Chains A and B, each alone.
Chain A
Amino acid sequence: MATLNLSAVTKSFGATTVLHGIDLNVADGEMIVIVGASGCGKSTLLRIVAGLETPTTGHVAIGGREVTRLEPADRDIAMVFQNYALYPHMTVAQNMAYGLKIRGTPKEEIARRVDETAGLLGIGPLLGRKPRELSGGQRQRVAMGRAIIREPKLFLFDEPLSNLDAKLRVQMRGEIRRLQQRLGVTSLYVTHDQVEAMTLGDRLVVMHRGRAAQVASPMEVWARPADTYVAGFIGSPAMNLLAGTLAEDGAAVQLRAGPLLRFTDGPRAGGEGRPLTIGIRPEHMLRDGDAIVTVALDLVEPLGSETVLHGTLASGEVLTARLPGMVPAVGSNMPLAIPAEALHVFDAETGRRLDA
């Protein structure tokens, strides 16, 4: 158990820079989820922490100890790989014991810890099997077991659930979280799946083009996204982003789509006509209200308890709404209301969030 500190970590492969200075401080026992689209540098960051890559500049410290130049084996960490990377010719027990064996742990101690870990994960009956005789979920557990048995200071997860089917993924997600909380080991978890990110993390690092766009708790990221990228990335369906300009001395926004919306949390800085991007989550759209926009529906997705509507506004912008209950079929024009209290205001040029 330990803290993890990254300071100004950058990484370049030749002329391409994939990480532009990442700072991150992880508290003891905290679970941090690094989330982002593919190619955002999240895996590279994890591999730098693991020691599988060396940062171009910057430092990595685990438990206060500088490890930037240390070999992976000397960092006291364990990693769960996306394809599990279980040694195919070894049994489950041998796979789990391999790291301990290399470190020269006594045989009895290894046997005890294998039994203990297998019990913890419910894989006791599988100990004598080879990885190819296991199902996806079982392999996943063995990979976890191989990490846990070392009692490392830090767990690293590299998209560990992406090879599982949807149902199993939900189940394993819960197991990983329970296990991590029970063991209290500081963890770094990389995923591109926002649901995993929201449910697993104490805090999220939303990565975008080699930068940490936002580092905050899942609810904070959802409620107060730091920029338009984060706003569009977290939440499903994605947040609607509409063009507008500042109006009434910063107290309101004039949407290109029509209505004038008065900010409920106070005025924004900047002159009249400052270009803004207004974010509104599909689930916040209402059937009735003051600021009405007319949506030409082109797709209606009934999900049972709610309906997702996709359509176009008069301004040509695309709008998605998630409404409770059943809603009329495709083809109709439908008036929907934008509630002023649910607005997210961003600068149109920088994409940064503008608070009152």
Chain B
Amino acid sequence: MQDAVLARQAMARQRRGRWLAHAALALGVLIFAFPIWITLVGSTHDAATIGRGDVPLLPGGHGLENFSTALGEGGGRMHTTPAAGMLLNSAIMALLIAGGKIAISLLSAYAVVFFRFPLRMAAFWTIFITLMLPVEVRIIPTYQVIVNLDLFNSFTGLTLPLIASATATLLFRQFFLTIPDEYVEAAQLDGAGPLRFFRDILLPLSVTNIAAMGVILFIYGWNQYLWPLLIINDRSMETIVVGLAKMIGSGDTQNEWNTIMATAVLAMTPPVLVVVLLQRWFIKGLTETEK
């Protein structure tokens, strides 16, 4: 009898605990998702609705119209730069940054881990220290250098200073350190030179890590704001994050919020797609190794 009561109490407690957990999760989702929902809904109404100061919570009927305006002519009051071009620019920039960083990091991590050369550790620490010097810190000298090299308004100038960093080098170094020496020795006996070993054995083993790094770095590149703002002033080369900010007029300007929201949705989509499509690899790369 007593036990039956205890069991019922335990069950009730369990149910209450589960309910609480779900409530907390739902609250979290709400806090994160609500602004995005507002943006999404806002992009489907006409300018007047939002202009009146209403905050609609349900989608309206102007979605197609708004998105085609944003893509084809450009959002905001001025309709200056079409989002299609800016999306392309952002994609090129993000891919160059992610690809460049991965290529450079793989090679430098390879050198630091697998070769014995003078000042090896000094080289490693020099690379490591660049972690403390992101573009924002060295922005004036970097700007000077890029302008002097005549790389203003070019993809080279846009991506090169962002490529040089240590994050990915560190990750790849840690991964390479876990690769047993025997692979290197077996490859040596098989007659594989350093580059062959890198291509035939190290790269295939690093695929999941490269994918994980690719996701992180693509988003890092896509979200760049300060540097593109400085180095690009040609409208046709504008990236979407910078373009979006420029669309919003300041002061008393009457903003065309619906197309701005549509542009914001467009700007958010590619990183989301990358995460969704590569997430299986991403998780694999961060959690397991093929050995």
Is the CB of A72 closer than 8 A to any CB of chain B?
Answer: yes
Given A73-B191, A81-B185, A85-B186; 7 other pairs, CB 8 A cutoff: A50-B189, A79-B185, A85-B185, A98-B200, A99-B190, A102-B190, A132-B290
Complex alpha-carbon distance, A88 and B183, angstroms: 10
Tell me if A83 and B180 are in contact (CB < 8 A): yes
B interface residues, tally (CB under 8 Å): 17
Tell me if B205 and A77 are in contact (CB < 8 A): no
Tell me if B189 and A73 are in contact (CB < 8 A): yes
Is the CB of B22 closer than 8 A to any CB of chain A?
Answer: no
Q: Which 6 A-B pairs have the closest CB atoms?
A: A85-B182, A73-B191, A99-B190, A85-B186, A89-B204, A102-B191
Check A72/B188 contact, CB under 8 A, given A83-B182, A85-B182: yes
Is the CB of B21 closer than 8 A to any CB of chain A?
Answer: no
Distance from A186 Cβ to chain B, minimum over Cβ atoms (Å): 16
Residues 163-217 of B at the A interface (beta carbon under 8 Å): 180, 182-183, 185-186, 188-192, 196, 200-201, 204-205
Is the CB of A103 closer than 8 A to any CB of chain B?
Answer: yes
Contact of B190 among A81, A88, A98 (CB under 8 A): A98
Q: Mark A62-104, 1 if CB is under 8 A from B, else 0.
A: 0000000001110001110111110111000000001100110
Q: Mark B135-146, 1 if CB is under 8 A from A, else 0.
A: 000000000000
Query: Contacts of B185 on A, CB cut-off 8 Å?
Result: 50, 52, 72, 79, 81, 85
Tell me if B290 and A79 are in contact (CB < 8 A): no
Complex alpha-carbon distance, A78 and B186, angstroms: 9
Check A78/B189 contact, CB under 8 A, given A83-B180, A89-B205, A89-B290: yes
Query: Contacts of A77 on B, CB cut-off 8 Å?
Result: 189
Query: Contacts of A132 on B, CB cut-off 8 Å?
Result: 290
A interface residues, tally (CB under 8 Å): 23
Query: Contacts of B291 on A, CB cut-off 8 Å?
Result: 88
Which residue of chain B has the shortest Cβ distance to A87 in the bound complex?
A: B201
Query: Contacts of B182 on A, CB cut-off 8 Å?
Result: 81-85
Complex alpha-carbon distance, A32 and B232, angstroms: 71
Distance from B176 Cβ to chain A, minimum over Cβ atoms (Å): 15
Q: A-side interface residues toward B, CB under 8 Å?
A: 50-52, 71-73, 77-79, 81-85, 87-89, 98-99, 102-103, 132, 146
Check A73/B183 contact, CB under 8 A, given A98-B200, A102-B196: no
Tell me if A73 and B180 are in contact (CB < 8 A): no
Which residue of chain A has the shortest Cβ distance to B188 in the bound complex?
A: A72
User: What are 21 A-B pairs with beta-carbon distances under 8 A?
Assistant: A50-B189, A71-B188, A72-B189, A73-B189, A79-B185, A79-B189, A85-B182, A85-B183, A85-B185, A85-B186, A87-B186, A87-B200, A88-B205, A88-B290, A88-B291, A89-B204, A98-B190, A99-B189, A99-B191, A102-B190, A102-B191
Complex alpha-carbon distance, A102 and B197, angstroms: 11
Which residue of chain B has the shortest Cβ distance to A78 in the bound complex?
A: B189
Complex alpha-carbon distance, A102 and B191, angstroms: 7
Q: Mark B67-82, 1 if CB is under 8 A from A, else 0.
A: 0000000000000000
Check A87/B290 contact, CB under 8 A, given A78-B189, A102-B190: no
Complex alpha-carbon distance, A79 and B205, angstroms: 22
Complex alpha-carbon distance, A351 and B186, angstroms: 40
Which residue of chain B has the shortest Cβ distance to A80 in the bound complex?
A: B186
